[in-house]
A and B are shown apart, each in its own frame.
Chain A
């Protein structure tokens, strides 16, 4: 296996943090510099969804649609029909929370290469509370045919993911988190749509993470190593198409799997992995994430604690899971 280029400071308390959405903002500006056909549409959330840098450099290619998320994506579909590459940005709670049908009909089924940018996704939205904490979007978007679903793990990867979807010619969904999030990758780390990456090798269990949860898995794996447990950490930034090969290979080697996401486990990333494993390689599985309930107000750190999503919580869950679940090996 190729060595993933991990940020050497990733396990330090003072690891650099940056909002994942900020990486999107930088990526969009860069994409705009590389490709004149890129346009950005926003529904009255230009600064917080990080469209500002693009708008400032390319004011003519920035389109304000007002607080109208149904119009946001359907106008974007029209831009795509006219040969443009539209990035349609709002909060995940509304985009795709409010406009899923329009995305399905006018973008996915219509096969127009609109990029749905969903900022402020996940429990990490914090004090705004349950109405604004979009937890169902992974499930909603990954069931949609033609749709690529990408959930970058940090701001550096978000920038790469933005550049990648700008050029993939397909309807694409990019899920971004609001708070400052630890950076685990580097400029030299690989990113390719459809690929999962082993960040840390291990023998006892595979920890599969997407988005900001991958960092928490790295922290968990470090704690687990102190407890004598060797956990492999697999980062899965593309939920659709899923990297079957890397995931199944890891599950096959370790015989136990845990998934972690800042979203509903039902139908979400955990759901995707459960589907894959139960069909291809039945393996004991524990899904960490939001367990069929709504979120609530609190600081992001408080909420990660409350919902058991920190590295410390996860380490404990992994230990319990290993104690009660025999490692499942099979000869395929």
Chain B
């Protein structure tokens, strides 16, 4: 691979992944649109800047590890993986279809490059913690990092806080967790369904270093991870404030798009908006 991508180039990747997500979900006729779009910038930053991975060699033993915990957002991970070259983009349109490697929720054993199986919420942080513990205490490997993304609604799950306590106790400094703070879950806004309140305070009292960012700002995401890597006595959680449905105006901020796929008309409108956005990135950065 060549050198690092510029922020504009990463934005183009995220835009392209959003485009893929819309096409995939329309073709599938079901799936989770809002958070898939909202997390596009984080996934672009991970797959094209942060993660030390080799898409042509998914089992490369020295790779960084990424566990997607809120498995329903896997369309955006599939889009990132296809963009990165784990598989051909054509395969994206098999999402949720019989015989596809792209299951509705991610299954590690089906698709090389997936590190875990998830969907039922609350378990990804534990798996990441187990891996990070193994690196830090058993393997004495310091240069590899373990990442996970949780949804904010997912934090309702008790399993998350069991893991938070565990990672805090053992000061798992190679563990970097994202909370996709988009303020929505299936039944409504997170603060109505089950208030999360002072998230920063909650994680801090569990022994974590907390960084809060605009989760749709790729530079902020990369900066936060660099800071997290420099924290060597605690795990870090990056509370990434994102806009659910980000990139498609009529989907943004609306919890009703949590678990709904666009129909063909809506998909066309969405793709049109994304095309304009892509052109705008290019106008702003003439080097592209």
Nearest 10 CB-CB pairs, A to B?
Answer: A78-B130, A74-B126, A71-B162, A82-B134, A68-B162, A78-B127, A110-B117, A75-B130, A70-B159, A78-B131
Contact with A along B138-162 (1 / 0, CB 8 A): 1100000000000000000011001
Q: A71-B166, A74-B163, A77-B130 are known contacts; what are 16 more A-B pairs with Cβ within 8 Å?
A: A66-B165, A70-B123, A70-B126, A71-B159, A71-B162, A78-B126, A80-B130, A82-B130, A82-B131, A82-B138, A86-B130, A109-B117, A110-B107, A110-B108, A110-B109, A111-B109
Q: Which of A39, A63, A75 contacts B127 (CB 8 A)?
A: A75
Residues of A within 8 A of B135 (CB): 82
Q: Given known contacts A75-B126, A75-B133, A111-B108, is B115 in contact with A81 (CB within 8 Å)?
A: yes
Q: Which of B109, B122, B139, B163 contacts A75 (CB 8 A)?
A: B163
Show the binding face of B for A, using Cβ within 8 Å: 65, 67, 107-109, 115-120, 122-123, 126-135, 137-139, 158-159, 162-163, 165-166
Q: Which of B107, B126, B139, B165 contacts A82 (CB 8 A)?
A: B139
Identity of the chain B residue whose Cβ is nearest the Cβ of A146 in the assembled complex: B109
| 5 A–B contacts, CB within 8 A, in A order | A81-B127, A82-B130, A86-B130, A106-B118, A109-B117
CB distance from A85 to the nearest CB of B (A): 11
Q: Which of B117, B123, B131, B158 contacts A79 (CB 8 A)?
A: B131
CB distance from A74 to the nearest CB of B (A): 3
**CA separation between A84 and B133, bound complex, in Å?**
11
Let me know if A278 is at the binding interface, CB within 8 A: no
Residues of B within 8 A of A61 (CB): 138
Q: Is the interface of B mostly helix, strand, loop or mixed?
A: helix
Residues of B within 8 A of A101 (CB): 120
**CA separation between A101 and B117, bound complex, in Å?**
12
Q: Given known contacts A84-B138, A106-B117, is B122 in contact with A70 (CB within 8 Å)?
A: yes
Cβ–Cβ contact A74 & B107, under 8 A: no
**CA separation between A77 and B117, bound complex, in Å?**
10
**CA separation between A84 and B122, bound complex, in Å?**
22
Cβ–Cβ contact B127 & A106, under 8 A: yes
Residues of A within 8 A of B127 (CB): 74-75, 77-78, 81, 106
**CA separation between A82 and B63, bound complex, in Å?**
11
Cβ–Cβ contact B139 & A71, under 8 A: no
**CA separation between A109 and B134, bound complex, in Å?**
22
Let me know if A48 is at the binding interface, CB within 8 A: no
**CA separation between A101 and B128, bound complex, in Å?**
18
Cβ–Cβ contact A74 & B165, under 8 A: no
Q: Which of A70, A76, A105 contacts B130 (CB 8 A)?
A: A76
Identity of the chain A residue whose Cβ is nearest the Cβ of B132 in the assembled complex: A78
Cβ–Cβ contact A75 & B129, under 8 A: yes
**CA separation between A224 and B126, bound complex, in Å?**
53
Q: Which of A60, A68, A80 contacts B165 (CB 8 A)?
A: A68
Cβ–Cβ contact A79 & B162, under 8 A: no
Cβ–Cβ contact A79 & B134, under 8 A: yes
CB distance from B146 to the nearest CB of A (A): 8
Q: A173-214: which residues lie under 8 A (CB-CB) from chain B?
A: none
Residues of A within 8 A of B158 (CB): 70
Residues of A within 8 A of B67 (CB): 78
CB distance from B110 to the nearest CB of A (A): 10
**CA separation between A63 and B129, bound complex, in Å?**
12
Let me know if A299 is at the binding interface, CB within 8 A: no
Q: A49-87: which residues lie under 8 A (CB-CB) from chain B?
A: 60-61, 63, 65-66, 68, 70-71, 74-84, 86
CB distance from B271 to the nearest CB of A (A): 34
Cβ–Cβ contact A84 & B134, under 8 A: yes
CB distance from A115 to the nearest CB of B (A): 14
Q: A72-118: which residues lie under 8 A (CB-CB) from chain B?
A: 74-84, 86, 101-102, 105-106, 109-111
CB distance from B176 to the nearest CB of A (A): 14
**CA separation between A148 and B178, bound complex, in Å?**
35
Residues of B within 8 A of A70 (CB): 122-123, 126, 158-159, 162
Cβ–Cβ contact B134 & A71, under 8 A: no
Residues of A within 8 A of B162 (CB): 65-66, 68, 70-71
**CA separation between A69 and B127, bound complex, in Å?**
13
Q: Given known contacts A110-B108, A110-B109, is B130 in contact with A60 (CB within 8 Å)?
A: no
Q: Given known contacts A74-B123, A82-B139, is B159 in contact with A106 (CB within 8 Å)?
A: no
**CA separation between A86 and B119, bound complex, in Å?**
23
**CA separation between A82 and B133, bound complex, in Å?**
9
**CA separation between A209 and B135, bound complex, in Å?**
43
Cβ–Cβ contact A78 & B128, under 8 A: yes
**CA separation between A80 and B158, bound complex, in Å?**
22
**CA separation between A68 and B206, bound complex, in Å?**
15
